[in-house]
Protein backbone atom coordinates (compact mmCIF):
# COMPACT_ATOMS: atom_id res chain seq x y z
CA UNK A 1 0.00 0.00 0.00
CA UNK A 2 1.11 3.60 -0.71
CA UNK A 3 2.67 4.94 2.49
CA UNK A 4 1.89 8.58 1.49
CA UNK A 5 -1.40 10.41 1.45
CA UNK A 6 -2.39 13.11 -1.11
CA UNK A 7 -0.56 15.84 0.85
CA UNK A 8 2.74 13.92 0.85
CA UNK A 9 2.50 12.94 4.51
CA UNK A 10 3.50 9.43 5.61
CA UNK A 11 0.66 7.19 6.67
CA UNK A 12 1.45 4.62 9.34
CA UNK A 13 1.31 1.14 7.84
CA UNK A 14 -0.35 -1.40 10.11
CA UNK A 15 1.90 -4.44 10.66
CA UNK A 16 0.34 -7.49 12.22
CA UNK A 17 1.89 -8.01 15.66
CA UNK A 18 1.67 -11.70 16.49
CA UNK A 19 4.40 -11.84 19.14
CA UNK A 20 3.88 -14.64 21.67
CA UNK A 21 4.50 -13.97 25.38
CA UNK A 22 7.91 -15.12 26.64
CA UNK A 23 7.95 -18.60 28.19
CA UNK A 24 9.83 -19.65 31.29
CA UNK A 25 11.20 -23.03 32.32
CA UNK A 26 10.58 -23.91 35.98
CA UNK A 27 13.68 -25.74 37.23
CA UNK A 28 13.95 -28.04 40.24
CA UNK A 29 17.36 -28.35 41.93
CA UNK A 30 18.77 -31.38 43.69
CA UNK A 31 19.87 -31.32 47.32
CA UNK A 32 21.08 -33.98 49.76
CA UNK A 33 18.24 -33.69 52.29
CA UNK A 34 14.75 -33.43 50.76
CA UNK A 35 13.15 -36.91 50.77
CA UNK A 36 12.48 -38.40 47.34
CA UNK A 37 8.83 -39.03 48.28
CA UNK A 38 8.35 -35.36 49.16
CA UNK A 39 9.71 -34.28 45.75
CA UNK A 40 7.34 -36.70 44.01
CA UNK A 41 4.46 -35.27 46.07
CA UNK A 42 5.41 -31.68 45.06
CA UNK A 43 5.54 -32.60 41.37
CA UNK A 44 2.12 -34.27 41.57
CA UNK A 45 0.46 -31.52 43.64
CA UNK A 46 1.90 -28.39 42.00
CA UNK A 47 2.62 -29.52 38.43
CA UNK A 48 -0.25 -31.99 37.99
CA UNK A 49 2.05 -34.86 37.09
CA UNK A 50 1.13 -38.54 37.36
CA UNK A 51 3.08 -40.53 39.96
CA UNK A 52 5.05 -42.16 37.13
CA UNK A 53 6.02 -38.83 35.49
CA UNK A 54 6.79 -37.24 38.88
CA UNK A 55 9.06 -40.15 39.81
CA UNK A 56 10.86 -39.90 36.46
CA UNK A 57 11.49 -36.15 36.89
CA UNK A 58 12.54 -36.55 40.54
CA UNK A 59 15.09 -39.23 39.60
CA UNK A 60 16.38 -37.03 36.75
CA UNK A 61 16.93 -34.13 39.17
CA UNK A 62 18.48 -36.48 41.75
CA UNK A 63 21.03 -37.85 39.25
CA UNK A 64 21.65 -34.81 36.99
CA UNK A 65 21.35 -32.02 39.57
CA UNK A 66 18.61 -30.03 37.84
CA UNK A 67 15.50 -30.72 35.79
CA UNK A 68 12.62 -28.96 34.05
CA UNK A 69 9.21 -29.26 35.75
CA UNK A 70 7.37 -27.43 32.97
CA UNK A 71 7.30 -24.34 30.73
CA UNK A 72 4.85 -21.51 31.51
CA UNK A 73 4.15 -17.83 31.01
CA UNK A 74 5.93 -15.59 33.52
CA UNK A 75 3.08 -15.19 36.04
CA UNK A 76 2.34 -18.92 36.13
CA UNK A 77 6.04 -19.81 36.43
CA UNK A 78 6.50 -17.31 39.29
CA UNK A 79 3.50 -18.77 41.09
CA UNK A 80 4.77 -22.37 40.71
CA UNK A 81 8.24 -21.41 42.02
CA UNK A 82 6.68 -19.68 45.05
CA UNK A 83 4.37 -22.65 45.72
CA UNK A 84 7.28 -25.13 45.65
CA UNK A 85 9.39 -22.98 47.98
CA UNK A 86 6.50 -22.34 50.39
CA UNK A 87 5.55 -26.01 50.53
CA UNK A 88 9.18 -27.13 50.99
CA UNK A 89 9.99 -24.61 53.69
CA UNK A 90 6.69 -25.25 55.51
CA UNK A 91 7.91 -28.86 55.82
CA UNK A 92 11.51 -27.90 56.76
CA UNK A 93 12.96 -29.20 53.47
CA UNK A 94 15.64 -27.23 51.59
CA UNK A 95 14.20 -28.07 48.15
CA UNK A 96 14.94 -25.22 45.72
CA UNK A 97 13.13 -24.12 42.58
CA UNK A 98 14.01 -21.41 40.05
CA UNK A 99 12.91 -20.20 36.60
CA UNK A 100 14.66 -19.04 33.43
CA UNK A 101 13.47 -17.81 30.06
CA UNK A 102 12.96 -20.78 27.75
N1 LIG B 1 18.69 -36.05 46.52
C2 LIG B 1 17.54 -36.23 47.39
C3 LIG B 1 17.76 -37.51 48.25
O4 LIG B 1 18.64 -38.29 47.97
C5 LIG B 1 16.25 -36.38 46.59
C6 LIG B 1 15.93 -35.18 45.76
C7 LIG B 1 15.57 -35.33 44.42
C8 LIG B 1 16.01 -33.89 46.29
C9 LIG B 1 15.27 -34.25 43.62
C10 LIG B 1 15.70 -32.80 45.50
C11 LIG B 1 15.32 -32.98 44.17
N12 LIG B 1 16.93 -37.68 49.28
| ipTM for the whole complex | 0.98
Q: Can you tell me the mean pLDDT for 12-26?
A: 88
Quick one: 37 exposed, middle or buried, by C-beta within 10 A (0-12, 13-18, 19+)? exposed
The answer, yes or no, to whether any atom of ligand 1 lies below 6 A from the CB of 31, is: yes
Whole-Å CA distances, 10 to 7, 14, 15, 95: 9, 12, 15, 58
Whole-Å CA distances, 75 to 48, 78, 84, 85: 17, 5, 14, 16
Ligand 1 pocket: which of 36, 55, 56 to mutate (most atoms within 8 A of CB): 36
Identify the residue whose C-alpha is closest to ligand 1 atom 7.
62
8 versus 90: the higher-pLDDT residue is 90
pLDDT band with cut points at 50, 70 and 90 for residue 12: low
Q: CA-based diameter of the chain, in Å?
A: 74
Query: What is the value of pTM for the model shown?
Result: 0.85
The answer, yes or no, to whether any atom of ligand 1 lies below 6 A from the CB of 40, is: no
Ligand 1 atom at shortest distance from the alpha carbon of 28 = 11
Amino acid sequence: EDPHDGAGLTVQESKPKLKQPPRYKVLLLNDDFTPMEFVVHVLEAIFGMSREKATQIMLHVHTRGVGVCGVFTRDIAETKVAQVKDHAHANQHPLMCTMEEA
